[in-house]
Structure 1
Amino acid sequence: MKVSLVTLIVAVTYVWVAVCAPPTCYSRVLGLSKEIMEILHKLHKHHRTKECAKVLPKMFLDVHNSCIMPKLRDFLFVVENLPTPYCRARPRVTFLRRKVLNLYTIINRVCYRDLVYYTDDCEAIETGHSSPRHGEDRLQLLEEN
């Protein structure tokens, strides 16, 4: 009985220590991108911000896409220059702007050269559908050989 109690205490301690570990740059970027997508979804659904959200460009964040930085920069420009003061003053819109700016800063300064980009499909960030192009390139190489 004492062995199982000690084992349980040790297991809980390991889990607690693992949860208390500081987030890595990669995990912070992933978490922020998910938060931003949730905020965008809420902006499009909420009756007070629905009209403001129509102006915002569509964005499906993928931190493994090399086009994320220009898209975030363009999105920040649009959010900071919304056409009506009412939209700029909405708390959810300002919260979104702070989150996007935070993500942009983390990727640009903190995680600089730490993130690995697997694709450069800029259309995927706007549509949410990635089209694999590497298969076509391999086929072309095989045909040339």
Structure 2
Amino acid sequence: MKPEEGERSIKRFIWLADCAPPTCYSRVLGLSKEIIGLLGKLHNYHRTKTCVEILPKMFLDVQNSCINTKLRDFLYVMENLPTQYCRERPGIVLLKQKVTNLYRIINRICYRDLVYFTDDCEAIETGQSTPHYREDRLQMLVEEKR
């Protein structure tokens, strides 16, 4: 074996060893980023702009327990787009597939593996989370104001 071949095989081994199989969380996070990116493109593209205007606003947060109902509602609207033209656009079809995959992964494959840190349904629609304080923290804030 030549020294260059040995170096290449070591580099390949390091590259393979550095990879890890995706976890439920990483897959859900990656897919949600893809959906948000695709949704942004569809909003800017002149042929799909009018089709996606009717879709509900959505800011995906995989650690928000309201994501399940929001995805379900979003899929319902996508299934019932008013025109055949909108339902058949390739970008819309791809978005529907990705949202369906995300919904299935969250509810079937990663069921009980994901940890939800909030249940702020308004944050999924507006993108702004309102802080929820525990009782003891809330009491401290009230005392600080006095």
The offset of 1:131, in angstroms, is 1.3
- Alignment of 1:103 with 2:102, yes or no, is yes
- How far 1:18 sits from its partner (Å)? 2.4
Question: In 1, distance between residues paired with 2:123 and 2:136?
Answer: 21
Q: So what's the TM-score if we normalise by structure 2?
A: 0.85
Look up the match of 1:13: 13
Q: Distance in 1 between matches of 2:9 and 2:84?
A: 55
Let me know the Cα RMSD of the aligned residues.
Answer: 2.4
Partner of 1:49: 48
Distance 1:140 1:99 in 2: 40
> 1:127 maps to which residue?
126
Structure 1 residues not aligned, in runs of 5+: 1-5
Q: Which residue of 2 aligns with 1:79?
A: 78
Structure 1: how far apart are the matches of 2:62 and 2:80?
A: 25
Can you list the C-alpha shifts for 1:42-100, whole angstroms capped at 9, x where unaligned? 11000000000100010000000000000000000000100111101111001000000
Letter in 1 for 2:81: L
- TM-fit CA distance, 1:26: 1.2
Q: Which amino acid counterpart does residue 136 of structure 2 have in structure 1?
A: R
Structure 1 equivalent of residue 33 of structure 2 = 34
Aligned in 2, Cα 1:54/1:139: closer, same or farther, shift over 3 Å?
same
Name stretches of at least 5 consecutive residues in structure 2 with no aligned partner. Answer: 1-5
Q: Name the count of aligned residue pairs.
A: 140
Q: Which amino acid aligns with 2:16?
A: W
Whole-Å Cα distance in 2 between the matches of residues 60 and 138 of structure 1?
30
Match of 2:40, SS? helix
Instruction: Using structure 1 for the length normalisation, give the TM-score.
Output: 0.86
